[in-house]
Amino acid sequence: MTARFEWRTSLCAADFPAAAYETLRLRVPDHTPFNSLGWLRAAELTLGSDKRLHILLGWEADELRLCLPLVAGRERFGGLSFRVLHHLGYPLADRLALLSLLSVEDMREALVQTRRRLPHALLQLNELSEPAGEESLLTGWMTHSSTGERRLSCRVPVHLISETDHQEVGGDPRYKLRRARKRIAACGAQVRRIVPDAMSMGPLLQAISEVEAVSWKGDEGVGIFASGRSRQCIENAFTALAAQGLVRVVTLELNGRCISYRLGLLEQGRLYDYNLAFLPQYADLGSGRVLLDEWIRWGLEENWHWIDASRVSLENSSHQLHERMTGQLEHWRWSFYSWRPSGLILGLGLRLWHRLKPRVLQWRAQRATTAAPATPVKPVAIPTEGEHASASHSQR
């Protein structure tokens, strides 16, 4: 059956097919809370005046088979301005699924419809997860683009909750967890589990935003409350999802004040560990590791299946779930450059960069080696067995 395509300009409109959208979302196996209407509508309400939302719907008879909400805006590359399309929710949405049940042929037509309606240089879809062992519906778009790129965004550690979690974790994490619990008990802080609703979500977000503001995330301006626009999006999104019972929070409180927290989203037995922060004066407590263990304990009691880091850095990730992970999930960034002159220019620039990048990195490494001052070699004393054990203990 050939798909019928339709364009909309708002997810918040009274006539948007919300029920059909939710049916489609739940049928896509790797959907996430970031695909929910509550999250996406919050993102729409905080779009800047220089952004425009365009929603491509694909129907087969009366059944919705595709929903692709795209934000059109302009971005600068090499000092030049280009029109770029992103999936609604970028960059605050940590993991998205492509909500499509169309055939490969109909997906190609969706690309044609998009280019006809929204002339652009680049269409980029970030943080897409894909079922293992299945070819993506977006693969066909690569051959219909002047340049196409599928690039790994990150490998997310995940923990499968099992009966073994009733036992104490082994190895070095056990020592770190025990030490953290002793320090927390010594100062009198208490761990608390919270399932907020729409009414309590606002005050709770205010409390945790105050923690983030004075943490290193606040200092560097990289937190989820860092700007007025992102704060508004987070407040609207989490309030909407709390109304659906999807929000979970674990906090560490001292004298009734939150000093550390982990904020997560729970759907279909999978907890997405979205954000955390702690007051700098309590950094030595090791609260993050204790609160992560609390996620696992909570999951055991309520039959959750997975604890996920919703997103991590591609390299040098310091997420504590790496210590407990039983597997990984991959996020991908798809980039499709159009056949318009602007798309050809950007695509050519990308290909040139791929050719030059190894040489640039080699040149930087050589420059860093040359610039580094020579360090005199000092004689190393070989410790005795007792000294070696003491040194190892102090470094943990």
- pLDDT band for position 325 (50/70/90)? very high
* Residue 271 · residue 306 · CB < 8 Å: yes
Residue 142 has pLDDT above 70, yes or no: yes
Give per-residue burial for 80-108: e unless 16+ CB within 10 Å, then b: eebbbbbbbbeebbbbbbbbbbbeeebbb
Give CA–CA dist 225/209, Å, rounded: 6
Phi, psi of 336 (to 5 degrees): -125, 115
Measured in degrees and rounded to the nearest 5, phi and psi for residue 64 equal -75, 125
Look-up of token digits 């000093």: 259
List Cα–Cα distances, 164 to 38, 98, 170, in angstroms: 35, 34, 11
Q: What is the pLDDT of residue 236?
A: 97
pLDDT band, residue 1 (cuts 50/70/90): low
Q: What are phi and psi of 319, to 5 degrees?
A: -60, 135
Q: Which of 42, 361, 65, 60 is nearest to 230 (CA)?
A: 42
Lowest mean pLDDT among 30-34, 322-326, 360-364: 360-364
CA–CA distance, 125 with 147 (Å, rounded to integer): 15
Give CA angle at 85 (10, 270), nearest 5°. 70
User: Hey, CA dihedral for 267, 269, 270, 275, is it positive or negative?
Assistant: positive
* Cα-Cα-Cα-Cα dihedral sign, residues 5, 10, 16, 17: positive
Question: Which amino acid is it at 341?
Answer: P
Predicted pLDDT of residue 369: 83
Model confidence, pTM: 0.88
Structure tokens at 46: 């905080």
Q: What is the mean pLDDT of the chain?
A: 91
Q: Domains plus CATH for the chain?
A: 4-155+331-355 (3.40.630), 162-304 (3.40.630.30)
